[in-house]
Amino acid sequence: MRIFVCVKQVPDTETKIKINSDGNGIDESSIKWIVNPYDEFAIEEALKLKESAGEIRVTAISIGPKKRVTDALRTAMAMGADDGIVIDSEDSLDPYLTAKALSEALKKEDSCDFIFTGKLAIDDNASSVSQYLAEFMGIPHVTVVSSFKGSGGSYTAEREVEGGTKEVYSISGPAVIAANKGLNTPRYASLPGIMKAKKKPLKELTLGDLGLSGADSKVTFSNFELPPEKPPVKFIEGEPAEQAKELVKLLREEAKVL
Partner 1 sequence: MAKTFIFCEFNNGKIKKGSLELLTAAKAAGAEITALLIGPGSTEAAPEAGHYGASATFVCDSESLKNYNPMAWSKVVSQTIKNSGCTVFLATSSMTAKDLFPRVAAQLETGIASDCTDLEFNGDTPIAKKPLYAGKCKAQVNFANSPIQMILMRPNQLPIGEPDTGGHCEIKTLSAPEIDDRLKITDVKKGNTDKVDLTEANVIVSGGRGMKDADNFKLLDELAETLEATVGASRAVADAGWVPHSMQVGQTGKTVAPSLYIACGISGAIQHLAGMSGSKVIVAINQDKDAPIFAKSNYGIVGDLFEVVPKLNEELKSVLN
Residues 92-151 that bind partner 1 (CB under 8 A): 94-96, 99, 122-132, 134-136, 139-144, 146
State which residue, 111 or 191, has the beta carbon closest to partner 1.
111
What residues numbered 160-219 form the site for partner 1, per CB under 8 A? 160-173, 175, 180-182, 216-219
- For partner 1 (CB under 8 A), the number of binding residues is 87
Least distance to partner 1, CB of residue 245, Å: 5
State which residue, 97 or 197, has the beta carbon closest to partner 1.
97
Cβ-count burial 131-159 (b if 16+ within 10 Å, e if not):
bbbbebbebbbbbbbbebeeeeeebebbb
State which residue, 16 or 199, has the beta carbon closest to partner 1.
16
Whole-number Å distance between alpha carbons of 212 and 203: 18
8 A C-beta contact, residue 189 and residue 71: no
Give SS3 for 4: strand
Least distance to partner 1, CB of residue 31, Å: 10
Q: How many CB atoms lie within 10 A of CB 105?
A: 20
Decide if residue 88 touches partner 1 (CB under 8 A): no
Q: How many CB atoms lie within 10 A of CB 245?
A: 13
Least distance to partner 1, CB of residue 199, Å: 32
Whole-number Å distance between alpha carbons of 87 and 203: 9
Least distance to partner 1, CB of residue 116, Å: 16
